[in-house]
Amino acid sequence: MDFKDFNFNPDLYEGLLAMGFRNATPIQQQAIPLILNKQDLIACAQTGTGKTGAYLLPIMNMISETPERHNNTLILAPTRELAQQIDLQVEALSYFTNISSLTVYGGGDGIAYEQQKRSMRDGVDIIIATPGRLISHLSSGLLKLDQLKHLVLDEADRMLDMGFYDDIMKIVGYLPKVRQTVLFSATMPPKIRKLASTLLKNPEQINIALSKPAEGINQQIYMAHDDQKVPLLTQILKSGDYKSIIVFASTKEKVKNLGKVFRNLGLKAEAFHSDLTQKEREAALLKFKNKALPILIGTDVLSRGIDVEGIDLVVNYDVPHDAEDYVHRIGRTARASTKGTAITLVNQKDKRKLESIEKLIEKKIDRIPMPENLGNAPAETATITSSRPTPTGVAKKKFWNKKPKTAGATPKTE
C-alpha cells in the first residue's frame, strides 16, 4: 500500500518521500486508518515492523490540520534511548512542516533541564518522555496537559517490566478524560491487557505476529556451566573476526561485572546501564555506532533501545527470561538482508527457557561443542542438581527408574 493512499498533508507526505518511504508496512496499513479515525487502539507489534511510523504519521497529520495547537500529544517510552529515537523520527518526518517536538528524560545537565522548561512554557506539539522526569515537571505545575488530544504508550510491556505502572497511572491523572489513547506493545501478557482496559475506551485491536529470526542469522547454542562462560566467550571473541558485538546479560550488576572482566582481559568493551550519566551513555552509543567501540554490554533495554547497522555478533550471556526477548535480542544482527551470528550460552537451569525459544521460533538451534581446553559442558539431557559435573570417584545419585517397562522406552526421571 502506497503512503499516498492515506491522503496525508502534502508537507508530511513530502517528508516521507524525502526519507525514501513509499510503501506502508503491515502494521502501518492497519493502524493508520484507525488512528486517523480517532479510535483508541491496542497493537501488538515488535521493533522493526514500522510501529513508530504507524502512530506518528496519523497523529502528525491530525496536528498539521489543527489550527490551535498546544501540548497536543504525549508519547511515553521506557528509556531515554527510545525517546531520542522517536524524536529523531519526528524531526525527519516533520522537516517540511511546522510541527514541534520535545524530549523529556532524566540524566541531562542543568542547561537541558532549563531548555525543557522553556519549551513547556511556550507549548509544543509532541512531547516524548520517560515517566520519571515527566512526573517531576507535572508535579511542579510547569507542564500543563489539560488540552492533550493524544496519548501514546510505546513498548508498554517494557515499561511495566521496569516498574512504571504507578508512574503511568499518576501521569494519566493529569490528562483529560476525553482523549485518544494508543498502546503499542511487543508482547501482550495479562498485565498489558489490564492496563489497556483501564486506559483505553472500546479500543480496536491489531496483532502483527512475531517475526521469526532473519534467515541470515547463524544461531548457535553452547551448553556451558556458569564458570565456563567468561573463558568461552573470551575465546570466541578473540578467535573470531567480529567487529561489532552486543553482549546481553540478565542484570545491571552482571553487565557492570562483565565490563570490568572484559577490559581486564584486554577486550575493548563498555558496559551500558542506567547508572551512567546521560553523556556517558550517549558517548558509548556514539562510539559503538561509529565502530570505535567493538563490544557493548547491556540488558534487554539494548534489544529495543538502539538502532545500529552492521552488528555481526549478538551474544546471550544469559538466556532471556521470555522467548520473545530472544527474538528481539538476536534481531540486532543480520538486518537489511545481511548476515550475522547469534550465540547463546545455556546452563542447566536455563534449559526450559531454551525449549521455549525453540518452540517459539519453530527451529532447533545448532549445538556447538565446548572447546576441549575448557573442560566438560553440562549434558543437555541430564538431570543434575549441581552446576558442575560430579567429581570422579564420588557416588552419583540415581536419577532413573530401575527398569523401563518396554524395550527402547525412554527412562523416567524421579
Sign of the torsion formed by the C-alpha atoms of 102, 80, 51 and 146: negative
> In sequence order, which residues have a C-beta less than 8 Å from that of residue 197 and are 6 or more positions away?
none
Per CATH, which fold does 3-207 belong to? Rossmann fold (3.40.50)
pTM recorded for the entire structure: 0.67
Equal fold, 3-207 vs 217-372: yes
Which backbone phi and psi does 61 adopt, to 5 degrees?
Answer: -65, -40
* pLDDT at residue 214 in the model: 83
d(CA 387, CA 378): 8
C-alpha cell at 286: 556514539
* pLDDT at residue 402 in the model: 35
What 3 state SS string does 131-178 have? HHHHHHHHHHCCCCCCCCCEEEECCHHHHHHCCCHHHHHHHHCCCCCC
CATH number for the domain running over 217-372: 3.40.50.300
Going through 224-327 in order, the beta strands assigned E by DSSP cover: 245-248, 269-271, 295-298, 313-316
pLDDT in tens, the chain (414 residues): 899 999 999 999 998 988 888 899 899 999 999 999 999 999 998 766 789 999 999 999 999 998 877 899 999 999 888 898 899 999 999 999 999 999 998 766 566 677 777 777 778 999 999 998 899 889 988 889 999 999 999 999 889 988 999 999 999 999 999 999 999 998 888 889 899 999 999 999 998 876 678 889 999 999 999 999 999 999 999 888 899 999 999 888 999 999 999 999 999 999 998 788 878 888 998 999 999 999 999 987 776 666 788 899 999 999 998 887 898 889 889 876 678 999 999 999 999 999 999 998 989 999 999 999 999 999 886 443 334 444 433 333 333 333 333 334 443 333
**Nearest to 77, CA basis, from 87, 66, 92:** 87
d(CA 12, CA 224): 52
> In sequence order, which residues have a C-beta less than 8 Å from that of residue 308 and are 6 or more positions away?
244, 285, 288, 289, 332
CA distances from 21 to 71, 83, 91, 120 (A): 27, 22, 15, 31
* Spans of all domains in the chain: 3-207, 217-372
